[in-house]
């Protein structure tokens, strides 16, 4: 597999992660104040990061349009209440795109963007780059403020009460930044936070995974509530349901954790995972793995089914109002899967899909690709 560009800036740790993912791919040849029913404002849809939306996705596999950036798209798209799509690219640009595929503006950050943006209640777009800088950009594409961390950022911000922005960094810290761009607090884990993005429960508890092999639960003031030991490093983003928190470690163990930090159960996927779990309305958990399978695990921790793609899955699934699960694979296909694990439809993009899909209220699905393009799929 050859990508169109190289990554000379990457640290040894990230190069190691990319090698692991590439090797596996080749080997396996609740809605809070930030959300409304007509928006997909952040990675995994909501601040709980459940990956479940209250509207239907596309019933057909038509590629309606695609637009090109000048770099690979690992970032996952988000959608504003006005239907405008925002996505980052490794060319360093955050793109603002209309629902019919027209670029409104490109905000140049000056460094590669891997994480997804997040849209605030006031329309401000928050995103970060590998320079370690967190940006707040007004809807017209003008800078509102910038905040500098001490490590690269590959994760995606979450937005909590009072427009507080939570963002994790490779320096091992979770930052809480006020709506005016000033630091409220930071919390230090014992190792890097590479890809895990913060999740926020309805009680305002903040959850983050780290390479220190722990899931951390923090109070709103940044103090530690509890932390749970896992068997391996964590790249996944936690998902907070009505009763428990779900997290997957890099060895592919899925954990169900009570709100007091005690383990409810753990399920071994049998394969490495960098995918984040999605939680269905019936509490079924869906997560991808490096063996190319999308796993469906019941709320009691037993396997319901698995759906096999031709190569690794590192993206995270999204679930629509009908329970249909959408996921992209390194085999270059986007899949729509029924709740019983059967294929509804698939569409061939061609190149690996590391971007996780987003669904707009019109039923259109958006996903980025390493071929430098953002795709719109639907009627």
Series of mean pLDDT values for 10-residue runs along the chain (379 residues):
41 42 37 55 97 96 97 97 97 97 97 97 96 97 98 97 97 98 98 98 98 98 98 98 97 98 98 98 98 98 98 98 98 98 97 97 96 96
Residues 6+ apart with CB under 8 A from 86: 77, 78, 79, 80, 94, 95, 96, 97, 117, 119, 125, 127
**Residue 1 included in any domain:** no
pLDDT for 212: 98
Residue 145: in which H helix or E strand, if any?
strand 143-148
CB 253 within 8 A of CB 267: yes
Structural domain contains residue 313: yes
What pLDDT shows up at residue 129? 97
Token duo for residue 170 = 């490779």
Domain that holds residue 257: 12-377
For residue 11, the surrounding DSSP H or E stretch is: none
- Report phi then psi at 86, rounded to 5: -125, 135
Q: What pLDDT is attached to residue 379?
A: 80
Q: Which CATH number do you get for residue 348?
A: 2.130.10.10
Domain count, the chain: 1
- In the DSSP assignment, the letter for residue 163 is G
CB 159 within 8 A of CB 167: no
Q: Would you say residue 21 lies in a domain? A: yes
Q: For residue 7, is it within any domain?
A: no
pTM of this prediction? 0.91
CA dist 325 to 96, 114, 217, 264, 278, Å?
Answer: 26, 23, 28, 25, 9
Strands (E), 222-353: 224-229, 239-240, 244-248, 253-258, 263-268, 278-279, 285-288, 293-297, 303-308, 318-319, 325-328, 333-337, 343-348
Token pair listed for 8: 């000379």
In a domain, 5, yes or no: no
> Does some domain include residue 230?
yes
**2 falls within a domain:** no
């Amino acid at each position: 597999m050859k990508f169109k560009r190289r990554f000379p800036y990457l640290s040894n740790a990230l190069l190691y992660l990319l090698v692991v993912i590439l090797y596996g791919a080749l080997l396996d040849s609740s809605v809070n104040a930030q959300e409304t029913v007509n928006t997909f404002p952040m990675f995994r849809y909501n601040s709980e990061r459940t990956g479940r939306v209250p509207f239907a996705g596309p019933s057909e596999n038509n590629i309606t349009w695609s637009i090109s950036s000048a770099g690979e798209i690992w970032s996952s798209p988000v959608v504003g209440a006005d239907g405008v799509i925002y996505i980052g690219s490794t060319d360093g640009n955050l793109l603002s795109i209309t629902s019919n595929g027209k670029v409104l503006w490109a905000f140049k950050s000056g460094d590669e963007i891997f994480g997804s943006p997040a849209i605030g209640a006031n329309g401000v777009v928050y995103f970060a780059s590998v320079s370690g800088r967190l940006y707040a950009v007004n809807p017209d594409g003008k800078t509102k403020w910038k905040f500098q961390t001490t490590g690269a950022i590959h994760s995606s911000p979450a937005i909590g009460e009072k427009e507080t922005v939570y963002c994790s960094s490779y320096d091992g810290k979770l930052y809480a930044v006020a709506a005016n761009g000033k630091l409220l607090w930071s919390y230090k884990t014992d190792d890097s936070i590479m890809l895990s993005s913060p999740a926020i429960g309805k009680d305002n508890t903040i959850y983050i995974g780290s390479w220190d092999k722990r899931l951390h639960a923090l109070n709103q003031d940044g103090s530690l509530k509890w932390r749970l030991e896992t068997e391996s490093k964590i790249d996944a983003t936690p998902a907070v349901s009505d009763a428990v928190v779900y997290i997957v470690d890099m060895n592919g163990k899925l954990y169900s954790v009570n709100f007091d930090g005690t383990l409810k159960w753990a399920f071994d996927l049998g394969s490495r995972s960098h995918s984040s779990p999605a939680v269905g309305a019936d509490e079924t958990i869906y997560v991808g793995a490096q063996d190319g399978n999308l796993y469906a695990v019941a709320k009691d921790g037993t396997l319901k089914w698995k759906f096999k793609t031709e190569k690794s899955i590192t993206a995270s699934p999204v679930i629509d109002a009908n329970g249909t699960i959408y996921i992209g694979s390194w085999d270059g296909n986007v899949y729509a899967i029924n709740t019983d694990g059967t294929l509804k439809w698939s569409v061939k993009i061609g190149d690996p899909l590391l971007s996780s899909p987003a669904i707009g209220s019109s039923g259109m699905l958006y996903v980025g690709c390493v071929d430098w393009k953002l795709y719109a799929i639907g009627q």
